[in-house]
Structure 1
């Protein structure tokens, strides 16, 4: 199950934080590390601060976008302060987040996403996520180093994995009832946008309209079966529009 849990670091500035994050991951049994356009990598500082987790650093995958990093994941949790302008499902308690993450990791890939040391994740990157999580801290000084944040959420995930129900205690959801991957969600939104434009519902760019619909479906969290039904409806509307 832990092999389905991925840590994604976006545009890491200090290579030492990559090594320290790898060390935090390894202590909690997580070994899938993906780096989105790191400033410097490979780098000796990353290897040095891995301190026994050099294999994770050497095996880290480097990609060009967060979309690519999480395309095959069904649950993507962005670590950030609560952003009310982006109403994604939000976890105020990492422990609650970890239990849900682990429940999906039993049969699908999931990811925890961490942003830049200086200013975290952008709004566009948060939109690539299915959920947000915040780490409770001293309100007068709540700043965690990147690797410290990785350690906290990796620990909560490992604890949830240790305390998970055994396979005989809870039924496994059929594939159709499982959450769609982020790639499947992206394809759905592209399809929805195309049909809205073809139908005349959107006659000019309406970024906020589409953003509101993204937020609506993020809250609804449709299953794969439900998303397939929606795609079928859109395809039928497209055919009718073409026939007219």
Structure 2
């Protein structure tokens, strides 16, 4: 299950922070590290500060976009200060997030996404997530560095994994009942946007309306079977193409 939990670091500036994040991961049994456009990697400083977690650094997957790091994940949680302007579901407590994350990770990959050292994730990157999470801290000085943030959420995830109910062997959840991947959700939202535009419901780009619809379906958490049903409904509403 822990191997299904991915840590994603976006545009890390200092290579040493990659090593420290890898060390934080390994102490909590996490091994899957994806790096989105790191400024400098591979780098000896990343290996040096990994301090025993060099295997995670060496196995890290480098990709050129956030989508490439999360497309196969059924839950993608962006770590950031709470942005009320973005209507995504938000976890105020990492402990609550961790229980949900571990539940999804029983059958499919999930991801925790961390942004740049100086200003975190952009709004567009958070919109690529299914949820947000914030780490409660001193309101007068709530600044955690990258590795500290990874350590806190990795610890909560490991604790939730250790405390999960043990009831012997549990067969995998049927595929249709599992949560859709980020890629499947993207296809659905693109399809929904086309139908809304073709129907005249949207007469011009409405980024906020589409963001609110995305948040609605993120809260609803449809299964793959339910998402397929919705796609069928959208196809039925589309005008027949001219042959």
| TM value normalised by structure 1 | 0.95
What RMSD, in angstroms, separates the aligned Cα atoms of the two structures?
1.6
Aligned residue pair count: 243
2:82 alignment counterpart: 82
2:212 is the alignment partner of 1:188: no
2:13 is the alignment partner of 1:32: no
1:138 alignment counterpart: 138
Contact map agreement 2:177 2:224 (CA 8 A) in 1: yes
SS of 2:132 mapped into structure 1: strand
Contact map agreement 2:89 2:215 (CA 8 A) in 1: no
Separation of aligned partners in 2, 1:55 and 1:168:
31
Separation of aligned partners in 1, 2:216 and 2:57:
38
Displacement of 1:241: 4.2
2:203 is the alignment partner of 1:225: no
| TM value normalised by structure 2 | 0.95
User: 5+ unaligned residues in a row in structure 1: which ranges?
Assistant: none
1:235 alignment counterpart: 235
1:52 alignment counterpart: 52
Contact map agreement 1:199 1:241 (CA 8 A) in 2: no
2:62 alignment counterpart: 62
Displacement of 1:103: 0.7
Contact map agreement 1:117 1:146 (CA 8 A) in 2: yes
User: 5+ unaligned residues in a row in structure 2: which ranges?
Assistant: none
2:101 alignment counterpart: 101
Displacement of 1:169: 8.6
